[in-house]
């Protein structure tokens, strides 16, 4: 696990160096303009959380502001953050812990719009810790001494799972975390390769259809208003093209509000960029999409991450980042 932390730090430091050498013109990776319309690339993860972006594109909230979106799928923030800083993408989607980690390593990023939040429902949140139907684990406290899968080690998943264990009276230091991609978690749990798995959607719904039980809702239990992810850009683009950033932020905010008011449309737009369909589409849990970040929840998340040693000797500047 320690080698992973050093590896992430090396990647982020390298990204910071690349950013320092960046060109001031748009170049081949920069936004392109034609006839009053600017084409921008957005690095995204093809998950439920980014539905408002696609819905906003469909509703014309971006084109009405002269922005033509081009979404580029990536496996996660590890690819999106350097892509944004290097200019490959103009904007990106990332969980808030990854952005904090980037900032404390000197990576020049700036959050520009909210992305997704917990829905605040314990037992029915957008992520949950699942166990097999016949498992002896009945609550978060029972996770101590067991193996729990997370999609990325030393990030928002294990930090919030530890908080659920702590609140339930268990010893969070006794939980053993292993890294498994979300889409492989239902099978890993069903096969007994792990004792529990912290799952997002649609993996959580798939696992429940196989008989799995939810024993913890780490996001909601950490903070019922927890801001989970945001859209961000490089500080360079924010300084050089403030009008573009302003228009993107306005369009994204309108998209979040529309998705919140029209959850059925948000659910349906998932078929445009994922393979989710049928009963899984009908039954999966949606996150909350507030228009603004919740700073109090981010302060709590940062404090928990510090307790886990994620930031080393540094502390994130949340006011500057968000």
- Domains in the chain, please, with CATH? 2-118+226-321 (3.40.190.10), 128-222 (3.40.190.10)
pLDDT beyond 90 at 20: no
Residue range 258-275, pLDDT digits in tens: 999 999 999 999 999 999
The band of 36, judged by pLDDT with boundaries at 50, 70 and 90, is confident
pLDDT at 17 over 50: no
Query: Is the pLDDT confidence value at 219 over 80?
Result: yes
Residue 282's CB: how many other CB atoms inside 10 A?
Answer: 10
Q: Is the pLDDT of residue 25 over 60?
A: no
Contacts of 8 (CB under 8 A, 6+ apart): 78, 101, 154
Whether the per-residue pLDDT at 16 is higher than 50: the answer is no
Is the CB of residue 302 less than 8 Å from the CB of residue 315? yes
Q: What pLDDT, on the 0 to 100 scale, is given for residue 31?
A: 77
Q: Which of 6-10, 65-69, 216-220, 282-286 has the lowest mean pLDDT?
A: 6-10
pLDDT digits 0-9 by tens, 60-104: 999 999 999 999 998 777 789 999 999 999 999 999 999 999 999
> Which residues are bridge partners to 131 per DSSP?
213
Least Cα distance to 86 among 7, 24, 22 occurs for: 22
- Other Cβ atoms less than 10 A from the Cβ of 174: the count is 11
User: Would you state the pLDDT for residue 239?
Assistant: 97
| Average pLDDT over every residue of 176-196 | 96
Scan for tokens 């109090």, then name that residue. 296
The crossing angle, in degrees rounded to 10, of helices 77-86 and 2-20 is 20
Predicted pLDDT of residue 77: 72
pLDDT surpasses 90 at 26: no
Structure confidence at residue 33 (pLDDT): 64
Look at residues 231, 240, 195 and name the one whose alpha carbon lies nearest to residue 213.
Answer: 195
Q: Beta strands 37-44 and 67-73: pairing type?
A: parallel
Residue 29: pLDDT band with limits 50, 70, 90: low
Question: Where do we find the tokens 């390769």?
Answer: 193
Residue 230 has pLDDT above 90, yes or no: yes
Per-residue pLDDT at 184: 95
């Amino acid at each position: 696990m320690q080698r992973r932390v050093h590896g992430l730090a090396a990647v982020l430091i390298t990204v910071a160096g690349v950013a320092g050498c960046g060109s001031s013109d748009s170049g081949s990776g920069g936004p392109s303009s034609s006839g009053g319309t600017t084409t921008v690339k957005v690095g995204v993860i093809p998950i439920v959380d980014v539905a408002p972006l696609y819905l906003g594109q469909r509703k014309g909230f971006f084109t009405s502001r002269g922005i033509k979106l081009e979404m580029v799928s990536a496996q996660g923030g590890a690819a999106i953050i350097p892509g944004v800083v290097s200019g490959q993408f103009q904007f990106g989607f990332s969980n808030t812990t990854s952005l904090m980690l980037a900032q404390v390593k000197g990576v020049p990023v700036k959050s520009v719009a909210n992305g997704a939040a917990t829905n605040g429902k314990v037992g029915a949140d957008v992520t949950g810790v699942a166990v097999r139907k016949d498992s002896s684990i009945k609550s978060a406290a029972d996770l101590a001494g067991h193996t729990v899968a997370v999609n990325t080690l030393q990030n928002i998943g294990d930090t919030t799972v530890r908080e659920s264990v702590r609140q339930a009276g268990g010893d969070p230091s006794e939980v053993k975390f292993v890294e498994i991609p979300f889409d492989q978690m239902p099978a890993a749990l069903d096969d007994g390769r792990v004792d529990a798995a912290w799952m997002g959607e649609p993996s959580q719904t798939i696992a429940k259809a196989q008989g799995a039980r939810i024993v913890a809702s780490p996001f909601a239990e950490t903070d019922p208003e927890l801001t989970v992810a945001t859209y961000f850009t490089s500080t360079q683009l924010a300084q050089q093209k403030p009008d573009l950033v302003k228009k993107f932020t306005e369009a994204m905010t309108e998209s979040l509000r529309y998705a919140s008011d029209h959850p059925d449309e948000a659910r349906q737009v998932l078929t445009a960029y994922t393979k989710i369909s049928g009963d899984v589409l009908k039954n999966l849990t949606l996150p909350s999409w507030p228009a603004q970040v919740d700073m109090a929840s981010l302060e709590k998340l940062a404090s928990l991450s510090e307790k886990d040693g994620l930031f080393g000797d540094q502390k994130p500047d949340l006011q500057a980042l968000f």
